[in-house]
Amino acid sequence: MGLLRRLPRDQVAPSWDSRRPAVDGGDKLARVSRYFWPRGIRRLGRPLAQELKLWLRTWLNVLLPQRLLRYRRLLRGRHQKLHLGCGSKCFPGWVNLDMNRKGDLTLDLREGLPFADASVELIYTEHSLEHFDRAEDAPFLLSECLRVLEPGGCIRITVPDAALYVRYYAGELEAGQARAIEGTHTRFHGTRMDVVNSAFRWKHQHLYMYDEETLERLLEEVGFVEVRRQAYGQSQRPEFVGLDLEERRHETLYLEARRA
């Protein structure tokens, strides 16, 4: 295609798994054994192990005395500020939630939020919603956000901007922005389609990509009002200013909405 621009071959990672050992043509046992312990079965173990790890970490919230005390204290709070999917970036003065142990609480957000109705003032989530199933998990999580927010409370959601990647594929971005996008996806980017696939799949962790129209409609369907697009580092609420990651600025869509 004329729109595709090939990158130099020395910048392109191999499209095969270089860690997979070659099988000697004469080694019949090794060659045949692959069919009885195939890669597909081995891959099934990874998400299962991740689910079990998350389940155990969630139980530790109530089994360990120090965590139980913190868990109960946080759940009883009022006018709280929630940071969903915090990863390793925890904000002081916020309740940082994630599936890993670096946040204040380890929670499976697909199961909802354990906070009381109208007990939260603000919710911030950065590059997390795209990891939730669009049909069930994402609407449910957003409906939980709406439930726990106080009347007038706000949510700020940032996600990779799918429309931006479509424009990148069509060659409509400036050279500097295109290079920044390519720099984010370095494993397979021999062509623009490789970059788009990397963004949309992201190590098999991205389950749905949003543009402004799609995310706005989802928020309104859940019940949010006054959905507005914002720029990086800008917000109607000063508490959100300074939270956005600079390194994700070039690819991110920022939306804010309010509970009526």
| Alpha-carbon gap, residue 99 to 48, rounded angstroms | 14
The pair of three-digit structure tokens given for residue 224, joined into one six-digit string:
């949010």
Give the span between the Cα atoms of 253 and 165, in whole angstroms: 11
Q: What is the pLDDT of the chain when averaged over all its residues? A: 85
- Who's near 192: CB < 8 A, 6+ residues apart? 3, 4, 5, 168, 169, 171
Quick check: 99 and 57 in contact, CB under 8 A? Answer: yes
Of these ranges, 93-107, 129-143, 177-191, 200-214, the one predicted with the greatest mean pLDDT is 129-143
Higher local confidence (pLDDT), 93 or 24: 93
Task: Select from 146, 104, 176, 182 the least CA-distant residue to 260.
Answer: 146
Give the residue, 52 or 130, on which the prediction is more confident.
130
Higher pLDDT, 161 or 34: 161
pLDDT band at 25 (very low <50, low <70, confident <90, very high): low
Ranking 150-164, 179-193, 199-213, 245-259 by mean pLDDT, the lowest is 179-193
For the chain, give the DSSP string.
-TT--PPPGGGPPPSS-TTSPP--TT-HHHHHHTTTS-HHHHHHHHHHHHHHHHHHHHHHHHHSHHHHHHHHHHHT-SSEEEEET-TT-PPTTSEEEESSTTSSEE--GGG---SPTT-EEEEEEES-GGGS-TTTHHHHHHHHHHHHEEEEEEEEEEEEBHHHHHHHHTT-S-HHHHHHHHHH--SS-SSHHHHHHHHHHTTTT----B-HHHHHHHHHHHT-EEEEEE-TT--SSGGGTT-S-GGGGGGEEEEEEE--
What is the CATH topology of the domain spanning 78-161+210-258?
Rossmann fold (3.40.50)
Q: What's the average model confidence in pLDDT over 212-216?
A: 97
Average pLDDT over residues 227-233: 97
Q: Are 251 and 155 in contact (CB under 8 A)?
A: no
pLDDT at residue 220, as a whole number: 98
Predicted local confidence at residue 188, as pLDDT: 63
The phi and psi torsions of 94 (rounded to 5 degrees) equal -115, 155
pLDDT over 50 at 1, yes or no: no
Rounded to 5 degrees, φ, ψ at 7 are -85, 160
> Over the stretch 160-175, which tens digit does the pLDDT of each residue have?
999 999 999 999 999 9
pLDDT in tens, 197-206: 989 988 778 9
Q: pLDDT, tens digit, for every residue of 132-158?
A: 999 999 999 999 999 999 999 999 999
Read off the pLDDT of residues 81-99 as tens digits, 9 standing for 90 and up: 999 999 889 999 999 998 8
Q: So what's the pLDDT on residue 8?
A: 52
Name the more confident of 76 and 111.
111
At 4, the pLDDT band (50, 70, 90 cuts) reads very low
pLDDT of residue 21: 54
> What is residue 160's predicted lDDT score, i.e. its pLDDT?
95
pLDDT reported for residue 33:
67
The dihedral through the CA atoms of 15, 19, 22, 23 has a sign that is: negative
In this predicted structure, what is the pLDDT of residue 61? 66
